[in-house]
Amino acid sequence: MSREDLRSPGDARLETEVATLVRTVRRQTTAIWVLVGVLLLAFAMPWLTYYLQRWQGPDPGGSAYLGDEGAYARPEEAFDNDFHARPVEEKIRRATAILVTRVEKTAVAPRELVAEIVKLKPGVRLYYKVGDEFERPSHLTSGACEDCGDRGRVVFMLGNPATMAYAVTFQGDRLAALGNLPLAELRRLSGASPAERPD
């Protein structure tokens, strides 16, 4: 009697089920490894692009250009995390534009208008001109604005195009937040500051 003759009819069915089970486990194992590979690739892609960009180095020409001026400010020009903590003279020197605004009383609500452009570096785009509304002072209501014409802000702007980096309010002719600096002295310092960006 051979071994095949000793098998019962249930053994053949068991072998078929085991073979089916082995194929199913192999398919699931393959699917899991494919999923692991996809997840690793998804995790690695941002790092790969980051290192490729660092390896290639910075764009020597800036981001994009419109004529001779950059369409976007370079990060080192536009961002100064410590601007608020710098001395007044350095704020004036680093600013690409300095505006003086005045609050004007109206029937509806006060408006803050650009009264003067104290400084504007050559080639810097400024999207304000004298007489433009700068912002609506939300903290003032129409009735609370008895001395509006005496109030305003000095706005220091950085980058190209010039964007607000720091502002101080004033009442009368002195900037209390800048050591009671008179507006006339701010104008004098702004006129004496260099036109080039400091290193």
pLDDT tens digit string along 87-112? 888 888 888 899 988 888 777 777 88
* Short-list 137, 141, 100, CA closest to 119: 100
* Short-list 94, 103, 85, CA closest to 178: 85
What's residue 13's pLDDT? 84
Residues in the chain: 199
Domain limits of the chain? 8-56, 73-192
Q: Is the pTM of this model over 0.75?
A: no
- For 6-43, the pLDDT digits (tens) are 556 667 888 888 999 999 999 999 999 999 999 999 99
CA pair distance 102, 110, nearest whole angstrom: 10
Q: Can you give the three-state secondary structure of 67-116, one letter per residue?
A: CCEECCCCHHHHCCCCHHHCCHHHHHHHCCEEEEEEEECCCCCCEEEEEE
Q: Which range has the top average pLDDT, 6-10, 25-29, 180-184, 191-195? A: 25-29
Asked if 119 and 92 touch (Cβ cutoff 8 Å), the reply is: yes
Per the model's pLDDT, the better-predicted residue between 125 and 104 turns out to be 125
What's residue 5's pLDDT? 57
The three-point CA angle 23-29-33 to 5° equals 145
Q: Is the pLDDT of residue 153 over 90?
A: no
Q: Return the number of other C-beta atoms located less than 10 Å from residue 38's C-beta.
A: 10
Asked if 161 and 124 touch (Cβ cutoff 8 Å), the reply is: yes
Asked if 175 and 88 touch (Cβ cutoff 8 Å), the reply is: no
